[in-house]
Amino acid sequence: MSKVHNFSAGPCILPPEVLSKASQSVIELGNHGLSLIEMSHRSAPFVEIMEKARNHVKELLNVPDGYTVLFLQGGASLGFYISAMNFMKEGGKAAYVDTGSWSNKAIKEAKLLGDVDVVASSEESNFNYIPKGYTVPSDVDYLHLTSNNTIFGTQIKEFPQSSVPVICDMSSDIFSKPVNVSDFALIYGGAQKNMGPAGTTFYIVKDELLGKTGRKIPSMLNLEVHKSKDSMFNTPPVFPVYVSMLMMEWMMEQGGVPEMERRNNAKAELLYGEIDRNPLFKGTTAVEDRSPMNATFVLTNESLKGEFDTMWNAAGISGIKGHRSVGGYRASMYNALPLESVQVLVDVMQELERKA
């Protein structure tokens, strides 16, 4: 099989070593005589996997004492509602920054529970920048942010100072750069953007802020319940948790989050440098807000689309078609994507320039 350069926005690319170990576990986990996916989640081997996964999150992100790590189900889409339900008081209000499709969905879910103050938005420019200089109201229960926007290719570079608890959806850039966890009341996200396969969602929650809403919360949506059961209130998504654990071990073997950040910056500099240099391409986002995870760009001459598409397909490139909201192209460069793959894409862009 020829090499495929996987730029998919999600599910994300995973290292070959992780895929090899994961595939073996489907046949037999270790020497236990059972497949991981037929093994009881209450068995000692899986309890150990869950504990390792949770501890790896703490180690990679230097999570301080007083925070709990959970692996649950439902994706960030359920997290939109769970975060609001666990932090918005009965009859309360929350502040949201609207930076794209996912924050918009989070706003919609929060409105089911109380008042929402959209304190800043870049919707008028089709979300091609991150709003700055806005004021966070002091009378809200929390401020909600989306750190990285996969569709529009923007990323928050500096989080705002806030006198109220901050909640952040970090689905698509978790582990890509260091994060000061103590600045947040809750960090959550789907694993499938930069951490593992689809099927599990991570939550990093500040313990002392739970149980303060005054509302009755269904057990499956109650982070306190899941905390009390160590992510085992119900049957967890065993395979996604296991693969996420393997992915975190791979990151630690490579040098941890600082090394991931170094590699990601190198990939982003290579691709964005070509986008800016090559007259046949242009970026779609504000330069200062460009995401290292998701580079969005378009052709300056649409008549070259057919030829460019043929060329990158022939080079074994997969997953760079842009989202319909933006059009053009989107190259997602998650932790496991090698610099080599980015160079292949840059080579194709340069070849198109030579032919044009």
What distance in Å separates the CA atoms of residue 56 and residue 247, rounded to the nearest whole number?
A: 10
Six-digit token string for 92: 């309360």
In angstroms, rounded to a whole number, what is the distance separating the alpha carbons of residues 303 and 308? 10
Question: What angle do helix axes 16-27 and 238-254 make, rounded to 10 degrees?
Answer: 150
| Alpha helices by DSSP H, 88-153 | 101-110
**pLDDT for 1:** 42
- Do 343 and 23 meet the contact criterion of CB atoms below 8 Å apart? no
User: CATH classification of 16-254, choosing from 3.40.50.2300, 3.40.640.10, 1.20.1740.10, 3.90.180.10?
Assistant: 3.40.640.10
Residues 6+ apart with CB under 8 A from 175: 60, 61, 194, 195, 248, 251, 257, 260, 335
Q: pTM of the prediction?
A: 0.96
Query: Which residues are known catalytic residues?
Result: 102, 169, 193
Structure token digits, residue 215: 């509302």
| Degrees, nearest 5: CA angle 228-250-322 | 95
Kindly give the confidence (pLDDT) of every residue in the chain, 356 residues in length, as a single tens digit, with 9 standing for 90 and above. 457 999 999 898 999 999 999 999 999 999 999 999 999 999 998 999 999 999 999 999 999 999 999 999 999 999 999 999 999 999 999 999 999 999 999 999 999 999 999 999 999 999 999 999 999 999 999 999 999 999 999 999 999 989 999 999 999 999 999 999 999 999 999 999 999 999 999 999 999 999 999 999 999 999 999 999 999 999 999 999 999 999 999 999 999 999 999 999 999 999 999 999 999 999 999 999 999 999 999 999 999 999 999 999 999 999 999 998 889 999 999 999 999 999 999 999 999 999 98
Residue 3: its pLDDT value, please?
A: 78
Superfamily for domain range 255-355: Aspartate Aminotransferase, domain 1 (3.90.1150.10)
Task: Return the SS3 of 189.
Answer: strand
Domain positions in the chain: 16-254, 255-355
Query: Which pLDDT score is estimated for 356?
Result: 85
Tokens describing residue 168: 């952040």
Contacts made by residues 206-214, CB under 8 angstroms, sequence distance 24+: 206/66, 206/67, 206/165, 207/66, 207/67, 207/68, 208/66, 209/87, 209/165, 209/185, 210/86, 212/87, 212/89, 213/85, 213/86, 213/87, 213/88, 213/89, 213/90, 213/92, 213/141, 214/89, 214/90
